[in-house]
Amino acid sequence: KVLYQRTTKFQLSHVPSGLFMAVARMFGGNFYVTTTFGKIANLLIYAIVCFFAIKRLKSGKMILTVIALFPTSLFIASSFSYVFWVTCFSILGTAYFVGEMQRQNEPVTVKNTLIMCIAFALASIPKLIYAPLMLLPFFLKKKNFNNRKRYYLICVTVIVALGVLLMLKSLSVVTSTGDLRGGGAVSPKGQIKFILYN
């Protein structure tokens, strides 16, 4: 049971900052240096992923650059939060989707579609509410694919990935106490009880 609880609390978005902080500690860094290294790791991941997203587009690079460089986005990317992870991988997936739409005379490649789906899946891992982004490949036109089998294979892959994410989240939520921030009255159970009684 303890092992299961540890694995469900594991957050992929915290791994880069954890590794950088471990390296800083290994070289004898104090608290300030260690936390700064953790923030730099998050900012570095954000910058690299956004770079590849901007590079993917044929047009609209400046618009995406402005969105990626919003002060709020940069502030979040240089702090301890999973939001930078959601933002940068959502940007990457969207850039690949828009990039496929911009190449209307060329067929959709499996590689680009997989990158798009994986980016949206990675963005959804910290907070499953973003999982519907994985449905964007369904909006690619069938005529852009070389054959229908490939199109249906991509659709099935997206549905399976959504199912797996939902199952993993359901298992972690069912076995936990829920979000207790603000006390029992603000938890999902407390909110439902308040709605029913009032």
Q: What is the pTM of this model?
A: 0.73
DSSP state of 107: P
Rg (CA), the chain: 20
Q: Sign (positive/negative) of CA torsion 137, 95, 108, 125? A: negative
pLDDT value at position 137?
A: 77
Within 10 Å of residue 141's Cβ, how many Cβ atoms? 11
Within 10 Å of residue 147's Cβ, how many Cβ atoms? 10
Distance of alpha carbon 150 from alpha carbon 85, whole angstroms: 29
Q: Sign (positive/negative) of CA torsion 137, 142, 147, 153? A: positive
pLDDT value at position 49?
A: 93
Distance of alpha carbon 138 from alpha carbon 154, whole angstroms: 9
Tens digit of each residue's pLDDT, the chain (198 residues):
444 444 445 677 788 888 999 999 998 889 898 999 999 999 999 999 999 999 988 888 999 899 999 999 889 888 888 888 999 999 999 998 888 888 777 777 778 878 888 888 888 888 777 777 877 877 776 666 666 777 777 778 778 877 777 777 666 655 555 555 555 555 656 666 777 777
Q: Dump the DSSP string for 109-132.
A: PHHHHHHHHHHHHHHHTT-GGGGG
Q: Dump the DSSP string for 62-73.
A: HHHHHHHT-HHH
Instruction: Locate 73 and state its tokens.
Output: 């986005």
Alpha carbon separation from 67 to 47, 56, 72, 82, 129 (Å, rounded): 12, 15, 10, 18, 21
pLDDT value at position 48?
A: 94
What is the helix (H) or strand (E) element at residue 7, kind and residue range? helix 2-9
